[in-house]
Structure 1
Amino acid sequence: MRLSLRRFPLKTRMVLILGLIALLQTGALGLFALHYLTTSLEEEIGERALHVAKTIASIPQVIDAVTERDISRLQPLSLTLAERTEARFVVIGDRDGLRLAHPVAKRLGRSMAEDDDDELTPTLAYGLAQVTRAEGSLGLSMRARAPIYDNSGEQIVGLVSVGYLLDRVDTYISRYRLTMTLVILAALAFSILTAVWFAGHFKKAIFGLEPEEIGRLFQERNATLQSIREGIIAINTRGEITTLNEAARSILELPSDADLLGQPVTEVLPDSRMPEVLSSDQPQFDQEVRLGEQALIVNRVPLHHSGQVVGVVSSFRRKDELHQLGQKLSRIQQYADSLRSQAHEYSNKLHTIAGLIQIGANDEALALIGQETRDHQALIHLLVEAVPDPVLAGCLLGKYNRARELGLVLEIDPDSQMSDLPEWIPREQLVSILGNLLDNAFEATLNQGGHGKAVRMSMTDLGDDLIFEIEDRGPGIPDDQHQLIFNKGVTSKQAEGHGLGLHLVHSLLQQLNGTITIEPGTPDGSRFTVYIPKQPHSTNLHGAADE
């Protein structure tokens, strides 16, 4: 049945099921009512028969006639009594159970046991009045028997049997059966109409989807929630958690085996601001919160249904993951700039060499080629010897070419050494720090009209710190600006999009427990010195804090 019903749409299934249930219910109630009515009618008729039998047994004429066994008096009297009481029959018997009065005259004098077998004994022997349902000589009837006592009331001299045929009961039942059938059909029709209305309303509430589609969407929803890396929590209007994915458990360090659905969010996360969004109906985007040793970026959005707030959904992610993503993009941008610089630089050199060859200046062309080769070979030799790490070496080589493209010179101190670079320091963070400082030095030097000037850099891994020095030929930085320039958005440039590089440098150094100082350059400009400890510190930027 279940398999066959799946072939039908939900609306048809609901109509069939509700209609069948209504039919079974009304049918069962109808059968019960008919049975109860039949039983009640038969009991009522039996009580009436018993009352009539006892009344006839107490009539003095009947007592005298039975005592004298006077059939001629009892026969017409029984017929009269049956007519007056509307009984089907009144049968009177003597002490031995022989008929003294009977509606059929030819049965007179014969034993009443033909109809009642040994059921006469309780009445004749013990004086018990009884009501029975039996098939007698006159048909199926409800009959009552009562003993007849003599005038002294001590000795049983006979019995009276009064019966009412049950054909009238069948007539009553047939009449009620028709009524019950009409009621059942009316209830079935009403149930079907109600089922049609309810099914339509239900389908509208579930957006016209079938149960199988809802089940599939529910599975897809759960799979989607569990597959994304962002933590997701949803609450209802009572502030109870209705959705919690595995990423949320991991980020919030909640027990993986605890059933938190249905729990108040304020008990699971006491400092959560989701109830605030629930009451204010105002979304919150890109909120930075602290949870223990973690920094999170949180979004909270209210859910609406029919214009009412029905819940809140919160999504969140570790801030360091976003930083890592930004740093990777920055690193890719730096590689792209390096390649572009190299391509542009070599294109210019090749054009110059080609021009010299065309005008016959072969010696000058060879000298230019030699000079280019010596410069790059010297830089590559220095990087190979002093900077074994390929990521850092590649960054410096790219910045060298970038400086030449801008008309500057990046001078790296030949005594530099950076071979003891700890594994725990993320290379993308180190590259981002040096890359932003060098780009800032290039811009400062160019803004000062420093075409052809050199930006100097030195580095050393001696001692407990990694030390990097970058000196530009810019206008310098006033003493009162040394701390302000690391704030987000602070810049001396008019164009938009600046004021982020030094802020990022400062943030990354905080994560590495490093420091940066600013000093006047020689003879002008500024010198930035970066100190990064080789040993990781026990705490970092993500110190313990409340959410």
Structure 2
Amino acid sequence: MHKQRFRFKLSTIIIFFVCLVVLISLMITDLLISNSVSENIRKNQEEKALIVARTVSKSHIVINALEEGQTSSAIQDYTKEIQTATNVLFIVVMDMNGIRLSHPNEEMIGKSFVGGDEKAALKGKEYVSISRGTLGESVRGFTPIYNGKNEQIGVAAVGISLSSLETALGRSHKNIIIVTILGLLIGTVGAILLARYIKKILLGLEPFAISRILEERSTMLQSVHEGIIAVDHTSTITLVNKSASQIFKRAGLSQKPVGMKIYDYMPSTRLDHVLKTGQPELDEEQTINGVSILVNRVPLIVNGEVVGAISTFRDKTEVNQLAEQLTGVRTYAEALRAQSHEFMNRLHVISGMVQLKSYNQLAAFIRTLVDYRDQEFGSITQHIKDPALAGFIMGKLSYAREAKVDLSIECTSIIPEPAANKTTHELITILGNLIDNAIEAMADSEDKTIEVNFSYKDKWLTVEVFDSGPGISKEQQAEIFKKGFSTKGKNRGYGLYLVTKSIIDLGGELDIDSKLLLGTNFYIKIPYEAKEVGK
């Protein structure tokens, strides 16, 4: 049992992947921006701590108090004012022994600085550190304090609470998350609109349906026996199926024509003409490097505009083989029908003689039939060695008798079996159409006679077909061999066209001699290669 695979809709796939791409992009952006913003905020806070520390270190109030070596309420008041203005956690001024001269908590004044990160500052270095003191963990900026003689007399320390730093970072990250969610919503809406637009272009088909249709189309095109070649509106070849490749291979053409211009690949084509006119060309014959094909060319029209053209074709040799088979079946059927009708008429005669008990006359009638049939058929098989041609002529004899036409077959020499089956096929086409036309032409004539004479000499076969019909006028003689010309109505006029076509294909000659009310004579001469005995 075939297991049904679970398939997602096109809209679902597009929305999922677009949202995924947007989400990943925004997450990466969020990560990069968050790191960058965090680093900038941290640096800003560190620079703020140093700037405030430098400001304090330059204050004359602070410098004078340190030089005197005494605590001063002026330093405490000054640092509190600066602390309030700059919104920092603390501002501490200490002497060279690390003793605080100012502190947000006045009880801590006079005590040693806590944290252990002040030692480098007491040695004249300016820097930023993170440490925990009496007010908690903070970012600390240390700046040495110098007197007028450029001697270090103390250190200014400014602290900014890490909790305030984290608060600033949190606000920044929150804004980034809001932007990320907004971008995701916009991406989702865009994905839905894109999915609808694409599906509209694809005529509502889902990807798996398109894939299945393409697979089925490819399988059908490759499996058909006819050759198929298609071009787009620029005459560029877009498709060649397997059968077409095989025919092109026999014609010596390239096996990779896709992408080439049709007139460069196959100059004898008329597909480019079909593209220009938009008109189909059906049942046309085309020759490709000596290979004859029968072609149908049709334009591809979408919304009233020609977007390409397609040609289907088949090797004419195969078509001829099919025609031979069809002709043989039709001839055999006609012969059986005519002989069956003739046989029933004779059975009626025999039945009447039996009922009348005319046994002597019955015996004589049967002997006459047997002798006549043996003489007629024996003469044909004795002179015409091609079984197919001989059988065809026997069938025509029965058909002529049924139409009350006197058909006689004369052979001035032995007609050997031809080396090529094509010769037999074309001969049957020639004789069949000439005899049928003659029988039909004599429908209203009193004298209904057809004479067919065969002669073979020096690899040439000569056939003369005479009928006692009404004849053909000079004007009509110039038109009767054209395709579709007929004086008998529509959908007629193909018999003599096929006769001339077969004679041309065999490389033969045709001549006509006809006079009104005196009958018509057709003279055919064709090259005839005899089949070697034993082959």
In the superposition, the TM-score normalised over structure 2's length comes to: 0.83
- By relative contact order (CA 8 Å, sep 6+), the higher-ranking structure is 1
Indicate the residue corresponding to 1:205 in structure 2.
201
The correspondence for 1:487, drawn from 482, 506, 511, is: 482
Match of 2:93 in 1: 92
The answer to whether structure 1 residue 226 and structure 2 residue 222 are counterparts is: yes
Is residue 258 from structure 1 mapped to residue 256 from structure 2 by the alignment? Answer: yes
Tell me, in whole angstroms, the C-alpha distance in 2 between the residues paired with 1:514 and 1:140.
116
- The Cα shift of 1:477 comes to 4.2
The 3-state SS of whatever aligns with 2:117 is: helix
2:16 maps to a residue whose letter is L
Which shows bigger deviation, 160-169 or 271-280?
A: 271-280
Aligned partner of 1:365: which letter?
A: L
Say which of 427, 432, 439 aligns to 2:429.
432
Q: Is the 8 A contact 1:295 1:318 kept in 2?
A: yes
Residue 134 to residue 466, structure 1, CA distance change in 2 (3 Å): farther
Instruction: Assess, with a 3 A threshold, how the Cα gap between structure 1 residues 65 and 107 changes in structure 2: closer, same or farther.
Output: closer
C-alpha distance in 1, partners of 2:47/2:262? 70
Question: RMSD value over aligned CA atoms?
Answer: 3.6
* Aligned counterpart for 1:518 among listed residues 506, 512, 515: 512
- Cross-structure match for 1:54: 54
Check whether the contact 2:274–2:309 (CA below 8 A) recurs between aligned residues: no
Letter matched to residue 376 of structure 1? R
Please name the residue that 1:378 is paired with. Answer: 375
Residues 1:246 and 2:242 are matched in the alignment: yes
For residues 196 and 142 of structure 2, the distance between their equivalents in structure 1, rounded to whole angstroms, comes to 63
Distance 1:383 1:133 in 2: 125
> Which deviates further from its counterpart, 4-13 or 498-507?
4-13
Q: Is the 8 A contact 2:100 2:108 kept in 1?
A: no
Answering whether residue 351 of structure 2 is matched by residue 358 of structure 1, we say no
User: Which deviates further from its counterpart, 193-202 or 263-272?
Assistant: 263-272
Partner AA of 1:457 in structure 2: V
> What is the deviation of 1:171?
2.9
Which position in structure 2 is the counterpart of 1:11? 11
| Contact 1:297–1:319 (CA under 8 A) maintained in structure 2 | no
- The structural deviation recorded for 1:365 is 2.1
Q: Does 1:475 align with 2:476?
A: no
Closer, same or farther in 2 for the Cα pair 1:4/1:416, shift >3 Å? Answer: closer
Structure 1 match to 2:397: 400
Q: 1:264 to 1:45 in 2, by over 3 A?
A: farther
Taking the aligned partners of 2:526 and 2:134, their CA distance within structure 1 comes to: 121
Query: Which whole-Å CA distance do the structure 2 matches of 1:444 and 1:14 have between them?
Result: 75
CA distance in 1, matches of 2:12, 2:298: 41
Secondary structure at 2:344's aligned position in 1? helix
Shift of 1:243: 2.9
Distance 2:527 2:468 in 1: 28
Q: Deviations over 1:259-289 (max 9, x none)?
A: 623x554554567655565566x33332746
Question: 1:367 aligns to what SS in structure 2?
Answer: helix
Conserved in 1, the CA contact under 8 Å of 2:257 and 2:265?
no
Q: Give the Cα separation in 1 of the matches to 2:90 and 2:194.
A: 58
Match in the other structure for 1:539: none
State the Cα distance separating 1:358 from its structure 2 match: 1.1
| Residue deviations 1:130-168 (CA, integer Å, cap 9, x gap) | 344555553443332223233233x44443222222323
* Post-superposition CA distance 1:145-200 (Å, at most 9, x none): 223233233x4444322222232333344444444444444444444344334333
Q: Contact 1:90 / 1:162 at 8 angstroms: preserved in 2? A: yes
1:463 and 2:458 are equivalent in the alignment: yes
Give the secondary-structure state (helix, strand or coil) at the position aligned to 2:480: helix
* 1:86-144 CA-partner distances (Å, limit 9, x unpaired): 211223344465655444544854355x3438xx53x555x553344555553443332
Cα 1:138–1:526, aligned 2, differ >3 Å: closer, same or farther? Answer: same
Q: Which residue matches 1:369?
A: 366
1:340 aligned to 333, 337, 340, which one?
Answer: 337
Q: 1:541 is matched with which residue?
A: none
Range moving further from structure 2, 3-12 or 369-378: 3-12
Shift of 1:221: 0.8
Once the two structures are aligned, what percentage of the paired residues are identical? 29
Q: 2:112 aligns with which of 110, 120, 128?
A: 110
Q: Secondary structure at the match of 1:110?
A: coil
Residues of 2 paired with 1:503 and 1:88: CA distance?
A: 114
**Which amino acid in 2 is paired with 1:232?**
I
User: In the aligned structure 2, how far is the partner of 1:470 from the partner of 1:76?
Assistant: 142
User: Residue by residue, what CA displacement relative to the aligned partner does 1:321-350 show, whole Å, maximum 9, x if unpaired?
Assistant: 656655554443333222211111111111
Which stretch shows the higher mean deviation, 98-107 or 433-442? 98-107
**Is the Cα–Cα contact under 8 Å of residues 49 and 160 in structure 2 kept in the other structure?**
yes
| Structure 1 pair 84–275 and aligned structure 2 pair: CA distance change class (3 A) | same
Residue 520 to residue 72, structure 1, CA distance change in 2 (3 Å): closer
1:499 aligns with 2:474: no
Q: Please state whether the residue corresponding to 2:458 is helix, strand or coil.
A: coil
1:142-221 matches, within 5 Å, as 142-153=139-150, 155-221=151-217
Opposite residue 386 of structure 1, the aligned amino acid is H
- Supply the AA of the counterpart residue of 1:473: S
Does the 8 A contact of 2:275 with 2:309 survive in 1? no
Distance 1:187 1:496 in 2: 74
Whichever residue aligns with residue 79 of structure 2, its letter is S
Which has the larger displacement, 493-502 or 180-189? 180-189
Q: What secondary structure sits across from 2:452 in the alignment?
A: strand
SS in structure 1 opposite 2:422?
coil
Q: Tell me, which stretches of 5 or more residues in structure 2 are unaligned? A: 531-535
Structure 2 residue identity aligned to 1:57 = S
Contact 1:328 1:428 in 2 (8 A): no
What CA distance in whole angstroms lies between the structure 2 residues aligned with 1:357 and 1:335?
32
Report if the CA contact (8 A) 1:237-1:309 is conserved.
no
Q: Are the counterparts in 1 of residues 411 and 455 from structure 2 also a CA contact under 8 Å?
A: no
Please give the alpha-carbon distance, in whole angstroms, between the structure 2 residues aligned to 1:272 and 1:420: 38
Question: 1:449–1:8: structure 2 CA closer, same or farther, 3 Å change rule?
Answer: same
What amino acid sits opposite 1:171 in the alignment?
T
Length, aligned pairs only: 520
2:528 equivalent to 1:528? no
User: Is there any run of 5+ residues in structure 1 with no aligned partner, and where?
Assistant: 537-547
Amino acid at match of 2:92: V
- Determine if contact 2:262/2:269 at 8 Å carries over to the other structure: yes
* C-alpha contact (below 8 Å) 2:271/2:311 kept by paired residues: no
Asked if structure 2 preserves the Cα contact closer than 8 Å seen for 1:230 and 1:315, the reply is no
Q: Secondary structure of 1:116's match? A: coil
